[in-house]
Amino acid sequence: METTVRGRSAGTGSRGGHGREHQHIASLCDGKVQSLAEIAARMKLPLGVARVLIADMAADGLVAVYEPTSFENNDAVGTELLERVLSGLRRL
Amino acid sequence: MSARPATTGRVTSAKIVIAGGFGVGKTTLVGSVSEITPLTTEAIMTSAGVGVDDTRQIPNKTTTTVAMDFGRISIDRDLILYLFGTPGQTRFWFMWDELVRGAIGAVVMVDTRRLADCFAAIDFFEHRKLPYLIAINCFDGMQYHQAQDVRDALAIPSDVPVVSYDARNRESTKQVLISLVEYVLSMRRQRVGA
């Protein structure tokens, strides 16, 4: 759900073969990062449908997909990220 | 063209789950700190009999659509924090594995006039070993019970933080999120040091 997606604005290749949903997603995350949940909500699509569309676009190189960080493992990466979250919240 | 030389930096996200009974103010809390107007997304959830080994063998599994509200806070350029409100109907809780998977932790919002509404959420987080704190929403600046009374009534372990706040107030909500992250960090440090 909180997997993030960023459009690849290089504009290479033809978009002729892509449907309206793909174009809508491309415009939503053009130059900015959006989560799967945000894209689904803004397009009024169920999460699962948005997930499939984005996977197609990722396969075609139209978007970059970034997995969220999991905090289930007690590793240093998670701790460092938690510290970033904490200082970010304090700055708000 | 953008002045930034590269836009391919690794971006990551994290999430905090906001739970509590229907009408306790989850969306108000999310909206008070979110940089976007809270959005609603729908997911189709599948359930099957609990305790059954192989759900693929079950012809009459049921599906249901549940909606949840969420907001977003950009922590820095490469890190986005999402706040996901749980669906109000607690009977759908057991289906929300995806919602809690990988989460930093959860805020359980408590309305002291309807304490029992948060039992399901607390049970769920205890079962899933997801760190959580109890946030007592003070409607109209009124607090009907003391934190210790709530802790006793809900049988909350002594190490779990119980805080009071006002969901409409940004500073107050911010402090709840800070308390949760501090709590999760201290738990991790304890485990590492043990």
| Chain mean pLDDT for chain B | 82
Please give the backbone phi and psi of residue A15, each rounded to the nearest 5 degrees, phi first. Answer: -100, 10
Residue B178 DSSP SS3: helix
Pairing of strands B62-76, B79-85: antiparallel
Regarding predicted confidence, which is higher, B173 or B43? Answer: B173
In this predicted structure, which of A25-39, A66-80, B83-97, B154-168 has the lowest mean pLDDT?
A: B83-97
Nearest to A66 among B10, B43, B170 (CB): B10
Task: Tell me the ipTM for this assembly.
Answer: 0.87
The answer to whether residue B4 is domain-embedded is: no
Scanning the structure block, which residue is given the tokens 């415009």? Answer: A27
Range of the domain at B65: 12-193
With contact defined as beta carbons under 8 Å apart, do B26 and B18 qualify? yes
How large is the average pLDDT for residues A64-91? 88
Count: domains in chain B: 1
With contact defined as beta carbons under 8 Å apart, do B94 and A14 qualify? no
How large is the average pLDDT for residues B2-12? 55
**Residue in chain B nearest A74 by alpha carbon:** B188
Helix (H), strand (E) at residue B169: none
- Alpha helix positions (H), chain B: 26-33, 97-100, 119-128, 147-154, 170-193
pLDDT bin (cut points 50, 70, 90) of residue B151 is very high
User: From the CA of B163, how many Å to the nearest CA of chain A?
Assistant: 17
The answer to whether residue B128 is domain-embedded is: yes
The pLDDT value recorded for residue B10 is 77
The enclosing domain of B124 has a CATH number of: 3.40.50.300
B63 has pLDDT over 70: no
On whether any CB of chain B is under 8 Å from the CB of A73, the answer is no
**Residue in chain A nearest B33 by alpha carbon:** A92
- State both tokens at B3: 């002045």
The pLDDT value recorded for residue A1 is 84
Total CB pairs under 8 A between chain A and B = 127
The answer to whether residue B38 is domain-embedded is: yes
**Residue in chain A nearest B191 by alpha carbon:** A74
The answer to whether residue B6 is domain-embedded is: no
Instruction: Give the span between the Cα atoms of B148 and B141, in whole angstroms.
Output: 18
B68 has pLDDT over 80: yes
User: From the CA of B110, how many Å to the nearest CA of chain A?
Assistant: 22
- State both tokens at A28: 């939503």
The enclosing domain of A44 has a CATH number of: 1.10.10.10
A14 has pLDDT over 50: no
User: From the CA of B128, how many Å to the nearest CA of chain A?
Assistant: 11
A64 has pLDDT over 50: yes
pLDDT bin (cut points 50, 70, 90) of residue B1 is very low
The answer to whether residue B5 is domain-embedded is: no
The answer to whether residue B123 is domain-embedded is: yes
Residue B31 DSSP SS3: helix
DSSP assignment of chain A: ---EEEE-TT--S--TT--HHHHHHHHHTSSSEEEHHHHHHHHT--HHHHHHHHHHHHHTTSEEEEPPPP-SS--HHHHHHHHHHHHHHHH-
The pLDDT value recorded for residue A12 is 47
Range of the domain at A38: 4-91
Q: State whether B81 and A90 contact (CB < 8 Å).
A: no
Nearest to B82 among A37, A42, A47 (CB): A37
Torsion angle (degrees, nearest 10) of CA B173, B17, A89, A68: -160
Count: domains in chain A: 1
Q: State whether A86 and B36 contact (CB < 8 Å).
A: no
